[in-house]
Structure 1
Amino acid sequence: MEKPPIVPQSEQGHKENLLERIFKLSERNTDVKTEVIAGLTSFMALSYIVLVIPFILSEAGIPQDAAVAAVIFSTVFCTLMFSLWANFPITVGPGMGLISFFTYTVVLGKGLSWQTALGAVFISGVVFFILTITGIRRKLFDVVPPTLRSAIGVGIGIFVAFTGLKNAGIIIPSETTYVTLGPMTEPESILGMAGLILASILMVKKVRGAMVISILLITVFAMGIGTTPAPQGLNDIVTLSVPDISATFLQMDLLGALKYGIISIIFSFTIVELFDNLATLLGLSKKAGLMDEKGKIPNLNQALKADSLGTMASACFGATALNTYIENATGIAEGGRTGLTALVTSGLLLLCLFLVPLVSLIPSEATAPVLILVGALMMSEIQHVSFDDFTETVPAFLTIIMMPLTFSIAEGLAFGFISYTLLKLLTGKAKGMHWAMYPISAAFIINFIFHGSL
């Protein structure tokens, strides 16, 4: 009688051991199941980016299919570095504020081509990488006062919300008052408000993927009433081929960016990414229990290098500078502690490549409510603004209000930095202000003198 064959270690056990070695699951008091659920949760919370961000990029003239591919590829590329190199449970991709700045300020506002704007993004990534490897990046974070850091986030939030209100037709231009309320009986405005209420209710009820559900339901309703075309078959929803990214891949115009002299734009990309991204990354790391009692985070340098390299890669793909998504907090709340969470999220995002036809069917009134809600969520930073000291209050106010009113994040930054420095200096309260605020504010003033605007 033949002896039964020796049964090797199970494939499942091998996979678990491999994952343990890569992600140090037990060291961080987690397991595969928890990490997978956390990754799925993060995906549901931030999957709206696949629907919303390509739409905003398309308004800059980028072909929408290529924009979807660029957003997904850049997000997955950087997230994989966070996962496998830095072992962070964090997804990183093109940020809503930076996408808005790219489209509405740089391209539509200044009339630059999207290729030239991508060149500026790539250069900002190079600057970002240099600041990271030299250690200046961590030091620069301490330069900007906490009040301005918070005001930047709030201002971007209002700017994004204003864009959403405009896209839904709720806010329209006016010759007498500049802006006014649009006709609220139009189907687009009604659908926009319905989407806002629906998404808000779902978020209050803590429904996973609330924003995505709202987008899809409003799109279906818009198709039902005939304001947007309905798919005629499965091919109009799902594709078996990856969308062509050739329209944007390596299309950035570096010489054009340098020739135009857009130092202020590159500076703005760098400043916004620097403070928004690092602050979010530190906050999420603390929430995940990765920060020790001395404030140190393991592999933080790898994470910082990853997002600077990711910004350069994003420009090569055809998207903008990257941000750490605050929606990662949902996955971390589900127990995500390692890069396995980010690995799961990036894998699910890759599957979205086959839903490009669906994205092209989604009307602006379906995505507009998400922009408004993202703006509302970013308002939470207002609690960190000091209202007891006018030398803090006024710069914060100017930073916040000038972003939507000038339709430029960079203009808001300029007013905030300049007013903060001048008020502190002229009221005798400059003692605690970092010396680097002087050259930064001077650079903004010089730019106003020679270029008029940012």
Structure 2
Amino acid sequence: MAKPQLAYNVAADAEKGLLERLFRLREKGTTAKTEILAGFTTFITMAYILFVNPQILSETGIPFNAALAATAIVSAFATLLMGLYANYPIAVAPGMGLNAFFTYTVVLTMGLSWQTALGAVFVSGMVFIILTVTKARQLIIEAVPPVLKYSIGVGIGLFIAFIGLKNAAIVVASPATYVTLGNMKDPGVILAIIGLVITAFLMARQVKGALLIGMLSTTIIGMFMGVTKVPTGLSDIVTLVPPSPAATFLKLDIMGAVKYGLVSIIFSITIVDLFDNIGTLIGVSRKAGLLDKDGRLPGIERALVADSVGATVGSLVGTSTVTSYVESAAGVAAGGKTGLTAVVVGLLFLVSLFFAPLALLVPSQATAPILIIVGVLMMAEVVHIKFDDFTEALPAFLTIVLMPLTFSIAQGLSFGFMSYTIIKAMTGKFKEIHPVMYVLTVLFILHFVFGIAE
């Protein structure tokens, strides 16, 4: 009678041995149980991307189901790669801001097809891989001044919040004033405001998974208000046949992107993804106690390679650029310290494919509050900008304001980089300008003078 128990113990020991070899749990001071719970925590806090990303990408003409499938598959692949290759508790998924740039700037404003935009994402991913492998990444990081690093995040936050307000119809177009307040009596607007209040309350109370809970709660309320469909059966929530990315798989147009001359677009995608990743990796790793005595993250190159490979694969499957998610901090707070946390998140993304019908029930009024609150969170970096120094304040202001006003992350970056170099040079502060900034400034000026990249 003891033999089955003995066999069970041997299997359990073998499993523990494998996990130990892969993730060095004891060395990191954690256990498999803690890592698994941390993985569930991270997934709950970022699962909203499964609903938001397809809604944003579908505006380019990408079929919603294909975008949903691509989002889940690529998030799973990139997060598993982060866990198994880099051994970090960091989840990876299509980035907020980068998906907005893909849709509203590259496709809807510049008029490129989504296939060409995916081609630009592919090229950007390859550039990111080269920058990481050749160590050129460090040169770029050192070249861009802190004020612009902070401003990029804040500007993207405002841009995302503006899109949320627009999607909720709280802000609408106006021939006289460009934008104005929408119809506050409209059921959709009322639902979005209710969703914003609910989600803001949950965030203020620091409820785990506040964004996801807020979105689902808003969707349910929307059903009673007649804004969205009411499920009539289990098939409206779960499916045994998950959606396929066949409509977008390998449909990218790389040569179209190269022929179009997308210098500023590729630069924008790469630079935003670079600093987004660096900031997230360092911030989350600091919270997990993974930094060395000099404040550096050992093996950060592996993490960046995992992210850039994920971005490249994402373009092949059919989604915008992926990036490390700051929501990973929730899993770290729950005790996650190794790649096992990321592996759990990756597997949950795959499982989520079977709940794809649920995404079709979520209206834009339920995802709009998420975009607005993500914008609020990204505004936090503004406190680090030295507004009492005008040579810092002007480029920061132009970067932040022009992203939402031009509806383009690329244009905000352009004016920020150019104004920084010019005003610092005009005031004799040449030592504060890295040589690479001169090169970038000249490229941006040529872009505007000769219409390169647009």
- Could you tell me the TM-score, scaled by structure 1's length? 0.97
**Cα deviations by residue, 1:292-321 (Å, 9 ceiling, x for unpaired):** 112332221211111111111010010111
Structure 1 stretches of 4+ moved >6 Å: 2-6
2:177 counterpart of 1:180: no
Counterpart code for 2:339: G
Corresponding residue for 2:395?
395
Q: What is the distance in 1 between the residues matched to 2:263 and 2:228?
A: 41
Equivalent-residue separation in structure 2 for 1:61 and 1:171 (angstroms): 23
- Partners of 1:430 and 1:282 in 2: how far apart? 29
Kept after mapping to 2: 8 A contact 1:87/1:299: no
What is the match of residue 219 of structure 2?
219
Question: 1:409 & 1:179 partners in 2: Cα distance?
Answer: 19
Gaps of 5+ in 1: none
Give the CA deviation at 1:249: 0.6
Native 8 Å contact 1:411 1:453 kept in 2: no
CA–CA distance in structure 1, aligned partners of residues 353 and 218 of structure 2? 22
Report the Cα distance in structure 2 between the residues aligned to 1:332 and 1:237, rounded to whole angstroms: 30
Cα shift readout 1:22-63 (whole Å, capped 9, x = no counterpart): 101111111112111111111111110011111101111110
Cα displacement (A) at 1:290: 1.0
On the 8 A contact 2:417/2:437 being kept in 1, the answer is: yes
Unmatched runs of 5 consecutive residues or more in structure 2: none
Task: Indicate the SS of the match to 1:125.
Answer: helix
User: Any conservation in 2 of the 1:241–1:354 contact (CA below 8 Å)?
Assistant: yes
Q: Structure 1 CA distance, aligned partners of 2:322 and 2:288? A: 21
**Is residue 2:11 matched to residue 1:7?**
no
Aligned to 2:324: 324
Alpha-carbon deviation of 1:17? 2.0
**Aligned mates of 1:161, 1:7 — CA distance in 2:** 58
Equivalent pair of 2:191/2:365 in contact (CA under 8 Å): yes
The code of the aligned residue for 1:54 comes to P
1:377 alignment partner in structure 2? 377
1:258 and 1:235 map into 2 onto residues whose CA distance is: 43
> What amino acid sits opposite 2:284 in the alignment?
L
Taking a change above 3 Å as real, the CA distance of residues 16 and 450 of structure 1, as seen in their structure-2 partners, is same
Q: Give the conservation status (yes or no) of the 8 Å contact 1:149–1:276.
A: no
1:49-448 paired onto structure 2 within 5 Å: 49-448=49-448
Q: Could you say if the C-alpha distance between residues 384 and 429 of structure 1 is closer, same or farther in structure 2, counting changes exceeding 3 Å?
A: same
Given that residues 238 and 354 in structure 1 are in contact (C-alpha distance below 8 angstroms), is that contact kept between their aligned partners in structure 2? yes
Q: How much has 1:187 moved relative to structure 2?
A: 0.6
Higher deviation after alignment, 271-280 or 187-196: 271-280
Structure-2 change in CA distance of 1:183 and 1:3 (3 Å): closer
Match of 1:45 in 2: 45
- Verify the 8 A CA contact 1:188 1:365 in the aligned structure 2: yes
Q: Distance in 1 between matches of 2:5 and 2:129?
A: 52
The 3-state SS of whatever aligns with 1:116 is helix
Contact preservation (8 Å) 2:260, 2:453? no
Q: Distance in 1 between matches of 2:327 and 2:283?
A: 12
Cα gap change, 1:6 to 1:190, in 2 (>3 Å): closer
Deviations 1:203-260 (A, max 9, x none): 1222221111111111112111212222221112111012111101111001111121
The 1-side partners of 2:3 and 2:186 are apart by 75
Counterpart residue type for residue 407 of structure 1: F
The letter of the residue matching 1:18 is L
d(CA) in 1 for partners of 2:5 and 2:126?
A: 55
Q: Secondary structure at the match of 1:93?
A: strand
1:142 maps to a residue whose letter is: E
Given residue 384 of structure 1, which amino acid in structure 2 is its aligned partner?
H
**Gap change, CA 1:370 and 1:4, over 3 Å in 2:** closer
How much does 1:13 deviate? 2.8
CA distance in 1, matches of 2:408, 2:429: 29
Cα distance in structure 1, aligned partners of 2:197 and 2:52? 18
Question: How far did residue 84 of structure 1 move?
Answer: 0.5
> Structure 2: which amino acid aligns with 1:16?
K
The DSSP-based 3-state class of the residue aligned with 2:431 is coil
1:398-451 per-residue CA deviation (whole Å, 9 max, x = no partner) reads: 000000000000000001000000000000012122110000011111001111
Describe the SS at the equivalent of 2:394: helix
**Alpha carbons 1:159, 1:403 under 8 Å: kept:** yes
CA spacing shift, 1:28–1:189, aligned 2, 3 Å: same
Quick one: distance in 1 between partners of 2:67 and 2:453?
28
Stretch moving more, 378-387 or 293-302: 293-302
Deviation at 1:6, TM superposition (A): 9.1
Q: 1:6 to 1:303 in 2, by over 3 A?
A: closer
Identity of aligned residues (%): 53
CA distance in 1, matches of 2:3, 2:202: 56
* 1:161-216 deviation per Cα after TM superposition (whole angstroms, max 9, x unaligned): 00000000100001111000001111111111110110011112222211111111
Tell me by how many angstroms 1:3 deviates.
10
Q: CA deviation at 1:11?
A: 2.5
Distance 1:208 1:39 in 2: 13
Q: Secondary structure at the match of 1:323?
A: strand
Q: 1:431 to 1:245 in 2, by over 3 A?
A: same
